[in-house]
Copies of this chain bind each other. A is one copy, B any other.
Amino acid sequence: MVSRIKDIDERAFIAQLASVFGRGKDELKVPAGDDDCAVLEFGGEYLVVTTDMLHQRTDFPDTMTPWQIGWMAAAVNFSDIAAMGGQPLGLLAAVGYPQNMSLEDSREIARGMRDCAEFCETSVIGGDVDSHEELTITGTALGRVSKEELLTRKGAKPGDLVCVTGTLGAAGAALKAYLKNMDIDSDFMKPLLEPVPRIAEGRMLAKSGAVTSAMDTSDGLALSLYDLASVNEVGFVLRKELLPVDRRVFEIASSKQEALELALYSGGDFELLVTIPRKSFKALQTESYLTVVGETVDIDADINLIGKDKTNFAITRKGYLHIGASEQI
C-alpha cells in the first residue's frame, strides 16, 4: 500500500491534493492540478498564475552561476505562462538563503531573475526573504490573456497535428555531458542552465486561434504527451524523421538510439507542445519556430513513434518527476 511521499507517483499525488482543494469559486476557470497555470476570470479577461519551487540539491548543479540560478527560477514559471498563451504581468520570488551566502551572490540571483523577467517584458514585483539551510527559491508568475486566446491542455482531437517549438533534447544532452564530466564549453550547457521561456511563441500561437491544446515540455516530451493524452483521451503518433533533435544531442549521444531517448525523455527543454487541426495549420506553416512532429490519434492507438521504414515502437511514460518513484534518464 502506498502510504508515503516517496512511494507515490507525482501525477497521482497531485490528483489526491486537487481532490482536497476542490473546484473553487466561479471565477476559477481552471482549478489546481488541471493545467500549467490556474486561470481566474478577472476584469473581463483571464489572469493566469503559476508557482514553482526549486532548490539547490535537485535544481542547481554546481556549475550554475548565481545569475543562472535566478534566471532559471524565473524561467520555469514564465514557461508555464507561455503554455497558457499569457502575456507576463510580473514575478514574485520567495528565497530561502543559506546564512553564509555572500550578499554579492544574492544580488546576482536577483539580477538573473530581473533579466529573465525583462526578457519576458515584465519585472520582479515582489517576494519574500528567509534563511534556509539549502538555497530554495519559489517563483510565482502572473500573466494575462484574453478569453478568446487562452491556451489550455484540453481540446486536442484525433487528426490534429502535433507540433513543438525549438529543438528537442538540448538540456538532456547538457545534463549528460555534465554528469559524465565530458569536455564541453559553456555554450553547450546553456540550454540546461538558461532555458528560454517561449513567451513570444506562446503569444503568437494564442493569437493564431489555431491551437486546440498546449503545455510546456519541462518534464520531457514523452511525459507531456502522456499528460495531453490523459486529459484529452487521445493517442499520438510521432514520426521519427520529423523530430527536431538538437544538434548537441548528436554530439553527445553514443548511439542513434540514445539520441532518440534524450530527445523523447529528458526534461529541462521548456519548449511548447501544441496540437493544431490540419485545416488551421496553414496560417502557421511559415513560422520558423514551429515543427510538426506527428498527429493526434484515437486513444486506442496509444503513443507511438514511427520510423521511415514503418517500424513502430511505443513511447513509454518516463521523464522527470519531482516526487516519488521517478524514472529519470
Q: Which residue of B lies closest to A11 (CB)?
A: B129
Q: Give the residues in chain B near A122, CB-CB below 8 Å.
A: 24-25
Given A42-B47, A90-B28: A4 touches B100 (CB 8 Å cut-off): yes
Give A90-118 interface residues, CB cut-off 8 Å to B.
90, 92-104, 106-107, 110-111, 113-114
Q: Which residue of B lies closest to A326 (CB)?
A: B131
Interchain CB contact (< 8 A) of A136 among B28, B44, B53, B140: B53
Using CB atoms and an 8 Å cutoff, list the residues of chain A in contact with chain B: 2-6, 8, 10, 13-14, 16-17, 20-25, 27-28, 31-33, 37-38, 40, 42-45, 47, 49-55, 57-58, 89-90, 92-104, 106-107, 110-111, 113-114, 122-134, 136, 138, 140, 142, 144, 322-323
Q: Which residue of B lies closest to A95 (CB)?
A: B53
A7 to chain B, nearest CB (A): 8
A15 to chain B, nearest CB (A): 11
Q: Which residue of B lies closest to A45 (CB)?
A: B43
Given A22-B114, A107-B16, A142-B40: A52 touches B94 (CB 8 Å cut-off): yes
Given A8-B103, A32-B124, A129-B14: A51 touches B138 (CB 8 Å cut-off): yes
A44 to chain B, nearest CB (A): 6
Q: Give the residues in chain B near A98, CB-CB below 8 Å.
A: 5
**Contact across chains for A123 and B25 when beta carbons are under 8 A apart:** yes
In the bound complex, how far is the Cα of B53 from the Cα of A323, in angstroms?
20
Q: Which residue of B lies closest to A89 (CB)?
A: B40
- Report 27 cross-chain contacts, Cβ distance below 8 Å, ordered by A residue: A3-B103, A3-B104, A4-B102, A5-B100, A5-B106, A6-B100, A13-B103, A17-B129, A24-B122, A28-B125, A32-B126, A38-B126, A40-B142, A42-B42, A47-B47, A50-B126, A51-B126, A51-B138, A53-B95, A53-B136, A55-B96, A55-B130, A58-B130, A132-B136, A133-B133, A134-B134, A138-B138
Interchain CB contact (< 8 A) of A44 among B24, B43, B323: B43
Q: Give the residues in chain B near A123, CB-CB below 8 Å.
A: 21-25, 28
**Contact across chains for B131 and A17 when beta carbons are under 8 A apart:** no
**Contact across chains for B20 and A107 when beta carbons are under 8 A apart:** yes
Q: Give the residues in chain B near A102, CB-CB below 8 Å.
A: 3-5
In the bound complex, how far is the Cα of B141 from the Cα of A151, in angstroms?
23
Q: Give the residues in chain B near A49, CB-CB below 8 Å.
A: 90, 92, 125-126, 140, 142
Q: Give the residues in chain B near A25, CB-CB below 8 Å.
A: 122-123
Closest 3 CB pairs of A and B: A43-B43, A138-B138, A38-B126
A243 to chain B, nearest CB (A): 29
Q: Give the residues in chain B near A33, CB-CB below 8 Å.
A: 126
In the bound complex, how far is the Cα of B51 from the Cα of A140, in angstroms?
8
Interchain CB contact (< 8 A) of A20 among B8, B97, B110: B110
**Contact across chains for B130 and A38 when beta carbons are under 8 A apart:** no
Q: Which residue of B lies closest to A23 (CB)?
A: B123
**Contact across chains for A130 and B3 when beta carbons are under 8 A apart:** no
A16 to chain B, nearest CB (A): 7
